[in-house]
Structure 1
Amino acid sequence: MSAQKVCPLDELAPDAARRVVLDGVAIAVVRDSSGAVHAIGDTCTHGDISLSEGFVEDDGLECWAHGSKFSLTTGKPLNLPAYEPVPVFAVEIVDGDVYIDPAVRLEV
């Protein structure tokens, strides 16, 4: 499997998330306030809710339903009620476009 183009970088607003599905894997693509782009599993491990509908703050993406916040860099929950992490995927920016390989999960 190889990285797939998700969108142009300039279509990702700062402090916002976008849901993409690549090869059946739901991924939340997030551009933080510093401009860095992250990709984490889009499904909250507490309530099967789409994280991309949540709130981006600092290094986290908060589930809108129950308030669990997940680290954008490690996928680990930063508070309860979630206690299981979400996967984290490598992001590449090539010629102004965002690429993600859904088969490659980072170990952090």
Structure 2
Amino acid sequence: MKIQEKDGTIVDVFAIYWLENETLFLGLPKNYGGLISYKEKNVHVIDSTLNGEFNYFSTHINGIYHWALIKEALLDDIIERDEVAYNRFVEILKAEGRIDPDFY
């Protein structure tokens, strides 16, 4: 899935979740070092297809997440921009062909 920010930046999405009646996306922008949350109303969805293995995960925030964020317990650390978790997630995405080999 891909979204476009108002400045034209295109970001790959690796989770969709719902919080307080809003739809949010977790995107992985280049050169940020983590995932960023985007409100649906602030971006334009340019490709609505989720490619790869995604799983529904239910806690206090229900959503659909890339498998590695949950099964490898990377989600919280990547949101907090932990370098080890980020590098592991990028390694997985490259191996799956989800991002370009020169992404990082």
What is the TM-score with the length of structure 1 in the denominator? Answer: 0.27
What is the TM-score with the length of structure 2 in the denominator? Answer: 0.28
Higher share of residues assigned helix: 2
Higher share of residues assigned strand: 1
